[in-house]
Structure 1
């Protein structure tokens, strides 16, 4: 089937295809009419790929479906034309579903690609078969992310591996690299749902293979994207493993990417990469107990916040503020002063302007917990009961809203932190009532942190409880 040449892919080209369709009598030249519909769909799809809207995509889908009305009647005579139209329909549906975050549309795209593969077999048309397998894999990634279905991601991995049987490094090096990178993405997303590291390790290998063909000079965008994906997979692998080697490799990968991905070229992507770099540096700094690395993490988050603003991207801005608060708090805990702790309070407070219990419950709870922890630590260091009272209020208000069944570990941790803060207040103010409240909070924490479920945490709370009980008994004797 003739594909519209690139030179005519503009509004005039689309109109020429429309004019052609007016001249063809569908009843007398059905296949010719279907070919013109297919070509119109191709022209509209090419334009849609360069635009933000969805109007042309919907038109392209309509054109492909119109073509298939006729081609389906003659499928035995023109099986490859029918398959080509199914493939291109799948491409249009996949792009529309991605733009609209519509799982139903992406599901239709998957069905179209699978239909195309009924005729586009490896034996008959190996290159087209591999192309459609690759298209299917990409659509399955988007579908798997939308539905959370691990089986769909496994199918995506299978599709990419099938495609790589024909798309080899020798025959088509750049397409091979694209498919390797997409394979890595599918493996990494699947690995997020697993506790093992096998798929993460395979993802790292796939990204590294892709980078053998992608270069900063020839394919800068693909090189940057794959460097960033490699950094993400290494960081996740580093979190799950002991040591710091993989985390250090992730930092190097992000920094490599940021040499090409500048704020001027792509401000939003630059900010995301800075945020990812900050997250990895923060974990690395914690693990190495290295204040300098934590300072670098803070710098990366501050860079990200130059572009992730509350007006442009409120939730991304709030997430960066939350991450900044965590890094400042981590650094502040290693220092004698409270300057970084105070800045952490400010960052958490900013994050809570966007995070709410209703819309973003997990992030809201994380920011509230961080805020309470910083206020408690400032209160301890400055001998400031006012800060401690603020921490108590934060913990109590949060625990009223926190779902114990959904987040038992966080609930228990906050009960323990509440107890610790109340115990400090009770001892400083010589208030037996506060100490009793502290004991009640510790006992609540022990309902989740049992010797069986969390032996280390159970022992910690028991020590807090025993210490507070001794303090209360001493005051009651007096």
Structure 2
């Protein structure tokens, strides 16, 4: 009785607040009613349905109390006008599924919109099925009626009967003469479509593997090459979705193999160029996702080749929106590749691809696709900005990402919104690293924390770990500018949390990145503490990272870790007697400079060149070596000038202070 009263109080409060729920541009609503009409496949089905009402309905319809469930259904029926494309009983079924699946409350409206849209598409497909058999027609009609009223188990059973009936009828038809072949194929097609709809139901339940099995079985039944291609494509997509969303590498590998060995041969370029191009685009997506997770770049190079093959058929003149989408995908693969290579060529190519996609004016037609490309462009510009002097690219990155957030709102696409917040944090952090004060760094921390509100460990573990790692870096930079160690300790905790998901076995390069960043935080904390334990831990972390961050795989990342190892060794050497550790530091900086060239990455070159100079300075002081002291002065001065001219004020100030100490030593040694 208490549960019934509580549900009634909640729903009455929602309705009393004047909440109005309506569906899409072609939907109609009276009062707080819900209606879906017309062709909704390309529109937003649910637009403005009160979040609290959805939450209350999920709770009521999922209640163990039959009376509460009945009250919830009565309320839902009152909201849905007669003749709506999605009836109250169907909405009730999907609301119960969402509740049983444990979908987070802040995703309920978006998920219900997706379920409703797919429901309408399912009804359209079932309504379009044609058969000459009266019993099959009756079963199909009953299945459609069951789907329309939310009786999914009954619908699946009826579709299974259709499949069995049509298969039974098709088998003898295959032995008939040529004139009976068309009839047999029609029955096979109906059976295949029925089995495929079982796959659609499994997909509605987020059971991707079961969906893939249904699509595979449907493809076996389908009589035409075109139908087999479409069904095998749906199978590959189900495997890809499972691998991408759940971090399952084996599912991605299965999807890639299926696209190459089964789907592509079904769509010869000379006969069906459009399907051939679609398959290459899908192959590129799977390869790029897998390549992002792996150490080697081979999969990413294959993804670039697949996208470029797609563009040979999906030209701007023929299919402008598909061309723009593939340009965006190409940019993604190039950006990941560029992040692992020296120079900026691949990143520049990625920026060009994104800008080309945006030329198609897609914001007016597909605003979320436009926002996705804006987000990706912002990330690429931030990567370029970190490698170049000045802050123009970084400022542009911030502006582009903020524009993306105008369409990528939290209410509309929470995980996409979180991804853009993460990228915005990266751009702000890079800007903050070059400016005095901490305002930009504080903004970066705030952006990362916003992202983590949606990027939870339970929902998207690898994305959560990536943002935790980025948050750790922003906290480390703040900690380096503050006297208290609290920020550095928070950074270390963030890195160690990220490492629990970013394991070496799962994502070796991301694991190495976190190890390297952890080493930097330990180094900074070691400067504020007595003893050498933190430095020793940092050195161990850097050397562990270098086992995966090899020069061959990721030359610039390898050079970054070599540089940071040099910093830790120099600081450790300053607290020890002798010059052994300092010599190791000089060697580490020298290794970094093999990739950190002045022409390629001038600011990074200055850090390593000046860092080596600082180690030489300590050795010169201990050995009273005038020539080495002169060399240290020259290197530190060069680093200061490049950083100053490149707009990196904090680091330029650091080397300016170090230069004064170096000049004083040189004068003291009689070399001034």
Would the aligned equivalents of 1:208 and 1:230 in 2 still touch at CA under 8 Å?
no
Q: Which has the higher contact order (CA 8 A, sep 6+)?
A: 2
Quick check: which has more Rg, 1 or 2? 2
The aligned residue for residue 466 of structure 1 is 620
Residue 277 (structure 1) shift = 0.8
Would the aligned equivalents of 1:298 and 1:324 in 2 still touch at CA under 8 Å?
yes
The aligned residue for residue 338 of structure 1 is 483
The aligned residue for residue 373 of structure 1 is 523
The aligned residue for residue 449 of structure 2 is 302
The aligned residue for residue 64 of structure 1 is 219
Structure 1 vs Structure 2 CA RMSD:
3.6
Alignment map for 1:322-333 (pairs within 5 Å):
322-333=469-480
Say if 2:373 is the partner of 1:230. Answer: no
Note the alpha carbon deviations across 1:277-296, whole angstroms, 9 max, x for none.
10111112224556332222
Could you say what secondary structure the match of 1:262 adopts? coil
Would the aligned equivalents of 2:512 and 2:544 in 1 still touch at CA under 8 Å?
no
Choose which of 495, 505, 518 in structure 2 pairs with 1:351.
Answer: 495
Would the aligned equivalents of 1:351 and 1:367 in 2 still touch at CA under 8 Å?
yes
Name the count of aligned residue pairs: 424
Choose which of 176, 183, 190 in structure 2 pairs with 1:36.
Answer: 190
The aligned residue for residue 445 of structure 1 is 585
Alignment map for 1:364-443 (pairs within 5 Å):
364-377=514-527, 379=528, 384-385=529-530, 388-395=531-538, 397-398=540-541, 401=544, 403=546, 406=549, 409=559, 410-411=561-562, 413-423=564-574, 426=575, 434-436=576-578, 439-443=579-583
Note the alpha carbon deviations across 1:236-284, whole angstroms, 9 max, x for none.
3333444333322221222122233333444333222211110111112
Superposition TM-score, scaled by structure 1 size:
0.75
Say if 2:285 is the partner of 1:134. Answer: no
Residue 375 (structure 1) shift = 0.8
| Cα distance in structure 2, aligned partners of 1:280 and 1:394 | 29
| Cα distance in structure 2, aligned partners of 1:187 and 1:318 | 23
The aligned residue for residue 52 of structure 1 is 206
CA separation of 1:134/1:445 partners in 2, compared to 1, >3 Å: closer, same or farther?
Answer: same
Would the aligned equivalents of 2:516 and 2:542 in 1 still touch at CA under 8 Å?
no
| Cα distance in structure 2, aligned partners of 1:441 and 1:405 | 23
Say if 2:420 is the partner of 1:269. Answer: no
Alignment map for 1:86-235 (pairs within 5 Å):
86-100=229-243, 101-118=251-268, 121=271, 129-146=273-290, 148-165=298-315, 168=317, 174-192=321-339, 194=341, 195=343, 196-197=345-346, 198-210=348-360, 212-215=361-364, 219-235=366-382
Note the alpha carbon deviations across 1:132-182, whole angstroms, 9 max, x for none.
4123212233124425334422332223312323x63xx655445434433
CA separation of 1:58/1:467 partners in 2, compared to 1, >3 Å: closer, same or farther?
Answer: farther
Could you say what secondary structure the match of 1:24 adopts? helix
Note the alpha carbon deviations across 1:7-46, whole angstroms, 9 max, x for none.
5585537446414333333533453344234423543454
Could you say what secondary structure the match of 2:499 adopts? coil
CA separation of 1:255/1:32 partners in 2, compared to 1, >3 Å: closer, same or farther?
Answer: same
CA separation of 1:120/1:396 partners in 2, compared to 1, >3 Å: closer, same or farther?
Answer: closer
Say if 2:169 is the partner of 1:23. Answer: yes
The aligned residue for residue 124 of structure 1 is none
CA separation of 1:345/1:89 partners in 2, compared to 1, >3 Å: closer, same or farther?
Answer: same
| Cα distance in structure 1, aligned partners of 2:514 and 2:269 | 51
Superposition TM-score, scaled by structure 2 size:
0.55
| Cα distance in structure 1, aligned partners of 2:452 and 2:521 | 19
The aligned residue for residue 6 of structure 1 is 125
Would the aligned equivalents of 2:418 and 2:451 in 1 still touch at CA under 8 Å?
yes
Could you say what secondary structure the match of 1:23 adopts? helix
Residue 57 (structure 1) shift = 2.0
The aligned residue for residue 57 of structure 2 is none
CA separation of 1:179/1:402 partners in 2, compared to 1, >3 Å: closer, same or farther?
Answer: closer
Would the aligned equivalents of 1:274 and 1:301 in 2 still touch at CA under 8 Å?
yes
| Cα distance in structure 2, aligned partners of 1:151 and 1:370 | 31
